[in-house]
Amino acid sequence: MSYIEIRNIFKIFGPDPKSALELAKGGADKDEILAKTGHTVGLHDVSLTIEQGETFVVMGLSGSGKSTLIRHLNRLIDPTAGSISFGGEDILAMDIPALNAFRRKRLGMVFQRFGLLPHRNVMDNVAYGLEIQGTARKKREVAASKWIARVGLAGYETKFPDQLSGGMQQRVGLTRALATDPEVLLMDEAFSALDPLIRSDMQDELMKLQAELHKTIVFITHDLDEALKIGDRIAILKDGKLVQVGRPEEIVLKPADDYVQAFTRDVNRSKVLRAKSIMAPISETEDEATTDLPAVSANARLADILPIALANGTAMTVLDSKDTPIGTLSPQQIVEALDG
Ligand X SMILES: Nc1ncnc2c1ncn2[C@@H]1O[C@H](COP(=O)(O)OP(=O)(O)OP(=O)(O)O)[C@@H](O)[C@H]1O
Applying CB under 6 A, the residues found at the interface with ligand X are: 13, 40, 42, 60, 62-68, 222
Residue 67: CB minimum distance to Mg ion, A:
3
Residue 66: CB minimum distance to Mg ion, A:
5
Give the sheet arrangement for strand 4-13, strand by strand: 40-50, 4-13, 81-86, 89-90
Q: Are 159 and 176 in contact (CB under 8 A)?
A: no
CB closer to ligand X out of 63 and 115: 63
Residue 75: CB minimum distance to ligand X, A:
14
* Most distant CA pair in the chain, distance: 70
Residue 65: CB minimum distance to ligand X, A:
4
Binding-site partner at residue 60 among ligand X, Mg ion, none, CB < 5 to 8 Å by type:
ligand X
Q: Is 111 helix (H, G, I), strand (E, B) or coil?
A: coil
CB closer to ligand X out of 230 and 298: 230
CB closer to Mg ion out of 66 and 72: 66
Phi/psi of residue 102, each to 5°?
-60, -50
Query: How many CB atoms neighbour CB 335 within 10 A?
Result: 11
Q: Are 334 and 309 in contact (CB under 8 A)?
A: yes
In the bound state, the residue with its beta carbon closest to Mg ion is 67
- State the Cα–Cα distance between residues 301 and 121, nearest whole angstrom: 42
Residue 49: CB minimum distance to Mg ion, A:
22
Nearest to 265 by CA among 293, 225, 317, 218: 225
Nearest to 102 by CA among 111, 116, 92: 92
Q: Are 243 and 257 in contact (CB under 8 A)?
A: yes
Binding-site partner at residue 42 among Mg ion, ligand X, none, CB < 5 to 8 Å by type:
ligand X
Nearest to 150 by CA among 170, 175, 125, 127: 175
Binding-site partner at residue 64 among ligand X, Mg ion, none, CB < 5 to 8 Å by type:
ligand X
CB closer to ligand X out of 38 and 340: 38
Residue 62: CB minimum distance to ligand X, A:
3
Residue 222: CB minimum distance to Mg ion, A:
8
Binding-site partner at residue 173 among Mg ion, ligand X, none, CB < 5 to 8 Å by type:
none
Binding-site partner at residue 68 among ligand X, Mg ion, none, CB < 5 to 8 Å by type:
ligand X
Q: Which residues bind Mg ion (CB under 5 A)?
A: 66-67
Q: CA of 177: how far to CAs of 114, 171, 187, 221, 333, in Å? A: 11, 10, 10, 18, 44
Binding-site partner at residue 62 among Mg ion, ligand X, none, CB < 5 to 8 Å by type:
ligand X
CB closer to ligand X out of 62 and 321: 62
CB closer to ligand X out of 129 and 173: 173
CB closer to ligand X out of 11 and 229: 11
Q: Is 87 helix (H, G, I), strand (E, B) or coil?
A: coil
Binding-site partner at residue 49 among Mg ion, ligand X, none, CB < 5 to 8 Å by type:
none
Give the strand pairing for 55-59 and 233-238.
Answer: parallel
